[in-house]
Structure 1
């Protein structure tokens, strides 16, 4: 398919070059059409755009185009780009290096029936050209029905030139009506190649033509420059001559030079509302064809200062004269033409041009990196990506450095149906920090990853990878994350990965991989890898379990595999399993608290320091500053002897836990470490004096910033709230998915989500079930699991986290009396407020509309889904993480939607009646574009469970968030 596409492209370009032989150096593209035709007005051959771009959709037969005086045919069609790619590029072949004119036209004409005012950017190769903004016209509606024309003169040294439309907001869809390329030969505009600058046309005027004159372009102008009749100086005397003008390759066409303004004294010519630029380039053309024998010499001033002196328009007879140079102006360029002393005649002006000077972006992407990306595109059938990969904006599936030249620092190819082997060429991207190849169908990876010396995150989970885990991973000194879950690796996980590195590794759900039994992670003072496979505490059975596991790995033929999937019962931190013996019988084994065959309980090692009570008193200045009240006791601020700030929680003296039980709980907490969980850093265990010491979070809780003591002094904006929510969700996801057995927090609320100096969020007070008296006493939110007497599950945490999301949106308390079910009304209030589709009614006024409305809808519906009364209808915390990550992409305008499989299993939620599961998921994309996205019907989210990575699609009829496990 890729080869056929390439062949069609070559054939199309060959046909184009043949059809445009009458206009050498011309490429004229009628966007949104196919085939060739000749414009009867100009004789220019036009072609469709399907040979130049493979993305986007077309619209034809726009009726309003027929009302135009010029370019009717070209303006009656367009191509629009409503997916979430960062840029869409036309690639135009050029015959030789030199100066080229590039012209693009845009006629909106309300083609999508959405009455929007699109805003998007244009780029030439790696250089940002300009912003197309339909809101700039004072008569916005009128701007829909007249073409916007932009044009540049650009130096070209390569075999092609790319013109890219860049999406700047998810609210606007880029489009284009026509695109033209013209070769400018001879000495015309030599400034372009000499300065290696792009000249953007501000205005090109024909001065003094007859009334009601038309535009002048090809065939009168061999370069197809468009000369617009100027409406300035209508009261001046004009020169009109049919006399010949000596030919010149750097002058306007004769029909332009045969007319001009003449004045006995002087006149002005100006450009106002200049586009922002630090430098401009002006050119004026003079041809005195009056036949006078007298001299016509003039002085030219710019904004009151002499610019050119003694310009003699009669010095060359019937040849034209031009003056051109760089110009510095601010907002307006007013040129005055005055008769010089000693001149017999007053000034004359036949034509004028003004350009904004744009610097060419020469720092294109590092060429070897581009070569690798081209290989990946061909190997993985990644179609539609062209132009410079990094500049001016990167392709969606890569990230780039800001260095010169830009280097590829990230490959983000999660869930795009990649099959086969990961090519060795990836190892040539030596600046890679992120390599995300998860949720594909890869079967193999290179053995030696050592060339990727800058690699920090390697995600390979959810593929079909086989073979042994490469030893080279241990040599990646910058590595922070290594995710290998849900594959078919075999052998034993290299011990060096756990002993010599400092990164986080997940490798669960590899049925043929033997993994040494370890706790979830080392203590704060250890430097070995945090192996996220099993979260548990030790007991006498743990020693036996380790020995049996090692024995099974070495003697697989003689013993049946160790089976820890048949649960006999679960505790808050540990689970009892059946273990198969060699004779086929089973033995109950509890990795944490139970025993197998008797014996005294084994107390696991605690990986944090133990303090005396006197040390705790000294650290807290005798418990002088209380900062809050936790679920197990008051929280005090303290400083350890080494200067480290800490939070100290004192436990109730009424606790019934034995010394061994308390030590076991502390050991468990000491081994659970994640960047989004508040870490235990020490403890105290003396008679009736039990203390837990946690890391100190300097910025308090998210509740403090939303509607607490820090609301006025340290407010958080919407982007910060999204990042905080995502951080907290990741911490909970870790507890739910990376620990076996999973850990249920049981008391998620905004006062348990703490912030550090950088406003990074960490969840606190997890894993404290056995240290507190009543799990329902401080939960803050009454959910159905409590009222029905059911056990808490991970979905209970999801419910409470949904409340936190509503707090982030609304900036208000959940209830007048927290914990009382009759006052817990934020869910009902939000649902009621959203029924009319106006989300502004619930949004925290402190945000002052500084947010992306689609991202706000995304989170609001996720929150309502998470707080569904039925636990089975709530998403998992993994799905919540993905939804929040997508909301951040929507907020920042970088969201890439990957459609879920048509075979996805859909769990349809209800908001009063069942929703149909049919083709409505493929509603026309234009329905997503609204002038005010805040107003639309509120529909609950649908969940797709498919093999693809999480993708989302906002829709005005039904908000659909696709969340994939």
Structure 2
């Protein structure tokens, strides 16, 4: 990798740029290539001049084309600072859209072929902002490098050798910061021979650190090297005590790696013939030991010379035998050796040699991580491609739909399998028109959201036959006809919304015999069942009321509790025993204190006692009791029982021994556990999933209204659950203190109001710092109010700070403190110092973006909780992969904000390479 930001490579990169800028070098350095219009391996090399159109005769007799046929997004621009640069660096394509990645696609390059891929980036202040961006470079679903040019003249180039695993090739630019606009000037793909670099691990790319034609005066490339490898000269002779020496004729070489004669007909050697050793100029960019692929080329420059020497790496022999160069090229190679910037290769004069050592050329590659197939399921990819053809709005997305982790297309979700499957389509509001295209081959789909488009025609039968489909939202389109029988009879779909379409009949009465009959049966069955259930509850309530003693009327709050709760009843004496006379206070809530308790069977519980002095306390207590009785989810705190006796109202919950999230973030928790970024992400994902269940898994939907870190409890394993539903409201439009029974429907058909506009009118309640500003203005709370509060929680997880805090001379709300720092791309300045930088920066950026989206001023700009869940899933996948690679002793790759470094876990015990 060459990168101006890397100090260890800066010297060579600057020198190369000087060569590129010089008019005299123009004919020798065609900076970037072009890609052939025909997609087959025999059409390589492919050379692309990004930001141009058509086909032109290029430098060094190579033909290159514009990039419009390989990319469907982005805009063209011309650099403002060109310094006489050659053509491929004077234009570029940039990608101002907010997509995670934009990709160049090259179909049919071939599977199992060895290729050289090179990309070039020259900022040239094309946008007039004097602010070169930082972004990631991806290859076929794998992370390749981080592009980080500096200054208006900031430049970077990346090159690798790779054996393809699939027929198609894609090179993608991935946005890692909100305001960083990726760009590219040119891209090259060259075909190498199968026997070249034969010792490389074909599952790992070789990242080019540098190739050297030590005694050359210019960069050697095509046509001298038919494979257009770049061989850099070494001209720093005056300070190193080295001098060039040249042959009168080309040496003999039949090496499989095919080094060009232009790099072999000269060498460097110590200026003094009496010198006993020399240091080999090398180009190792890794500050810590990492696996490298290294090749050295030796050939004698002088006739009848007596030259012999040994080669060392630091203090150990690199090659067992003494090197005696002659007119035939000797190649020394080690395909996997640990090197770092401190590694030193030296040539030591052998006994009896009349001349000092010499060397002609060398190649240094860093060995990349294992790259498997790294591709989404081929049938899903094909189905998506066909689906995209029907809608111009979806065609800009290219490259692998799901990989790398964290860079899936924005409108879908994927499984975490080694070969990912597409599990969700989120295409709400994409402006799709016309009939619904067939995507029946996406058989792993669980969620399809197509609402708020202009799709028309009938609904396809295949939707009801997708085997894993759970949620289908077709609301607010222009579909007509009748509902397919497959949807009505499907046992897998538990959430169907088809409101706002043009079906014949009314919203609950579809035309068509079989469909209408099936639908009416479902509705009628549900209605009859609900009626019988309510009647049974009324009769049970009357029976209990008649059996109650006369003095029951002295306890007006008791009648507010639902009869079902009675089966979990405890006496007040039992509560005293359970809590050891209320000995240990766990916390104080708005409606009462919480105490530690232990049941007779040994189970630990939290016991909440209502405060009699609160006028609103009874209503909140009853609301919480009703909700806890009807709502069950693994990420919501479980209800254990209650006590109603002697004027006391008490609830019992499962005990969460890890305290609340605010205590952990502030360090005030009784546990000393440190919550890493990965743990914080898991907490956020659990909470978001629990809230999504309240919003979309309950009917009517439930709005929590008091989402905050003190209402997020953790157990001893740091597993989070949402607690305290005392302020929750059911998503009904009617006002009123009492909440209706909340039913969890295993099969919910929604024909009316959409989920995302559920709202209730109520006096503003909640906790300062978390309350939705729109809620303040309108007194109407919606599901998006919970989303806003959760966004504040995410910012707390990122920063470790409470929602409102003070710094010397100023008081802040966390949103106002974070926003300008995000705008300045200072993600590390907002991250909790206790994290000590131990996090994947892309994962942190994604969560910061989600948090700011959640806390938008207006609710219509906030995502739904299911969207938040999907984004957090991706952020967690990125972080988990990063931690696996950095924390595992046997890992082979670790990432940094600027480039990828690699460390070997299985190096040979011997430094001795083979000779050719």
| 2:45 aligned partner | 26
Question: How many Å apart are 1:331 and its aligned residue?
Answer: 0.6
Q: In the aligned structure 1, how far is the partner of 2:210 from the partner of 2:771?
A: 69
Deviations 1:56-76 (A, max 9, x none): 22211x2422344xxx21111
Deviations 1:391-428 (A, max 9, x none): 43453244444544444454444443456777775455
**1:478-497 mapped onto 2 (5 Å cutoff):** 482-484=495-497, 486=499
**Alignment CA distance shift 1:160-1:468 (3 Å):** closer
**1:739-758 mapped onto 2 (5 Å cutoff):** 754=713, 757-758=718-719
| 2:304 aligned partner | 293
| 1:372 aligned partner | 383
| 1:64 aligned partner | 81
| 2:564 aligned partner | 606
Q: Secondary structure at 1:609's aligned position in 2?
A: helix
Deviations 1:779-808 (A, max 9, x none): 6669999xx999964279949976994995
- The answer on whether the counterparts of 1:200 and 1:357 sit within 8 Å (CA) in structure 2 is yes
Q: Secondary structure at 1:223's aligned position in 2?
A: coil
Q: In the aligned structure 1, how far is the partner of 2:477 from the partner of 2:100?
A: 27
- The answer on whether the counterparts of 2:178 and 2:849 sit within 8 Å (CA) in structure 1 is no
Deviations 1:710-762 (A, max 9, x none): 39957878998898789778878887888888878787776556555523333
1:170 aligns with 2:178: yes
Q: Secondary structure at 1:353's aligned position in 2?
A: strand
| 2:575 aligned partner | 616
Question: How many Å apart are 1:132 and its aligned residue?
Answer: 2.5
Question: How many Å apart are 1:180 and its aligned residue?
Answer: 1.5
| 1:131 aligned partner | 146
**1:268-287 mapped onto 2 (5 Å cutoff):** 268-275=279-286, 278-287=290-299
| 1:794 aligned partner | 781
Q: In the aligned structure 1, how far is the partner of 2:868 from the partner of 2:117?
A: 41
Deviations 1:130-173 (A, max 9, x none): 33233xxxxx43xx525322222222475543323233343533
Question: Relative contact order: is structure 1 or structure 2 higher (C-alpha 8 Å, sep ≥ 6)?
Answer: 2
Q: In the aligned structure 2, how far is the partner of 1:207 from the partner of 1:361?
A: 32
Q: In the aligned structure 2, how far is the partner of 1:438 from the partner of 1:350?
A: 66
- TM-score normalized with structure 2 length: 0.66
Question: How many Å apart are 1:463 and its aligned residue?
Answer: 5.6
1:326 aligns with 2:335: yes
| 1:238 aligned partner | 244
Question: How many Å apart are 1:605 and its aligned residue?
Answer: 5.1
Q: In the aligned structure 2, how far is the partner of 1:720 from the partner of 1:486?
A: 39
Match of 1:225 among 224, 229, 245: 229
Question: How many Å apart are 1:100 and its aligned residue?
Answer: 2.3
Question: How many Å apart are 1:179 and its aligned residue?
Answer: 1.0
Q: Which moved more, 1:349-358 or 1:442-451?
A: 442-451
Q: In the aligned structure 2, how far is the partner of 1:732 from the partner of 1:28?
A: 50
- The answer on whether the counterparts of 1:447 and 1:472 sit within 8 Å (CA) in structure 2 is no
| 1:764 aligned partner | 725
Question: How many Å apart are 1:104 and its aligned residue?
Answer: 1.4
| 1:53 aligned partner | 71
Deviations 1:188-243 (A, max 9, x none): 43345x8454322211111223xxx2222222222222221113555334323443
**1:458-857 mapped onto 2 (5 Å cutoff):** 466-467=482-483, 470=486, 475-476=491-492, 482-484=495-497, 486=499, 514=523, 606=564, 609-613=567-571, 614-651=573-610, 670-673=629-632, 678=637, 680-686=639-645, 688-702=647-661, 704-705=663-664, 709-710=668-669, 754=713, 757-766=718-727, 793-794=780-781, 798=785, 805=792, 808=796, 811=801
**Alignment CA distance shift 1:766-1:678 (3 Å):** farther
Q: Secondary structure at 2:61's aligned position in 1?
A: coil
Q: In the aligned structure 1, how far is the partner of 2:714 from the partner of 2:562?
A: 31
Deviations 1:817-861 (A, max 9, x none): xxxxxxxx9789987999999999998987789796897698579
1:200 aligns with 2:207: yes
**Alignment CA distance shift 1:845-1:146 (3 Å):** closer
Q: Secondary structure at 1:363's aligned position in 2?
A: coil
Question: How many Å apart are 1:123 and its aligned residue?
Answer: 3.2
Structure 2 gaps of 5+ residues are 1-33, 509-518, 540-558, 730-735, 740-761, 879-897, 899-916
| 2:358 aligned partner | 348
- The answer on whether the counterparts of 1:719 and 1:891 sit within 8 Å (CA) in structure 2 is no
- Equivalenced residue count is 751
Question: How many Å apart are 1:103 and its aligned residue?
Answer: 1.6
**Alignment CA distance shift 1:725-1:472 (3 Å):** same
Q: Secondary structure at 2:385's aligned position in 1?
A: helix
Q: Secondary structure at 1:282's aligned position in 2?
A: strand
Match of 1:77 among 91, 109, 115: 91
| 1:875 aligned partner | 859
Q: In the aligned structure 2, how far is the partner of 1:800 from the partner of 1:311?
A: 70
- TM-score normalized with structure 1 length: 0.63
Q: Which moved more, 1:380-389 or 1:199-208?
A: 380-389
Q: In the aligned structure 2, how far is the partner of 1:304 from the partner of 1:798?
A: 66
Q: Which has the higher helix share?
A: 2
| 1:161 aligned partner | 169
Q: In the aligned structure 2, how far is the partner of 1:790 from the partner of 1:219?
A: 71
**1:886-965 mapped onto 2 (5 Å cutoff):** none
**Alignment CA distance shift 1:385-1:254 (3 Å):** same
Q: In the aligned structure 2, how far is the partner of 1:632 from the partner of 1:472?
A: 45
Question: How many Å apart are 1:440 and its aligned residue?
Answer: 4.7
Calculate the aligned-residue CA RMSD, in Å. 5.7
- The answer on whether the counterparts of 1:438 and 1:462 sit within 8 Å (CA) in structure 2 is yes
Q: In the aligned structure 2, how far is the partner of 1:837 from the partner of 1:123?
A: 24
- The answer on whether the counterparts of 1:539 and 1:602 sit within 8 Å (CA) in structure 2 is no
Match of 2:198 among 184, 190, 202: 190
Q: In the aligned structure 2, how far is the partner of 1:484 from the partner of 1:810?
A: 39
- The answer on whether the counterparts of 1:744 and 1:793 sit within 8 Å (CA) in structure 2 is no
| 2:515 aligned partner | none
| 1:305 aligned partner | 316
Q: In the aligned structure 2, how far is the partner of 1:189 from the partner of 1:731?
A: 53
- The answer on whether the counterparts of 2:591 and 2:610 sit within 8 Å (CA) in structure 1 is yes
- The answer on whether the counterparts of 1:649 and 1:692 sit within 8 Å (CA) in structure 2 is yes
Q: In the aligned structure 2, how far is the partner of 1:389 from the partner of 1:364?
A: 11
Match of 1:111 among 120, 126, 131: 126
**Alignment CA distance shift 1:96-1:38 (3 Å):** farther
Q: In the aligned structure 2, how far is the partner of 1:755 from the partner of 1:784?
A: 23
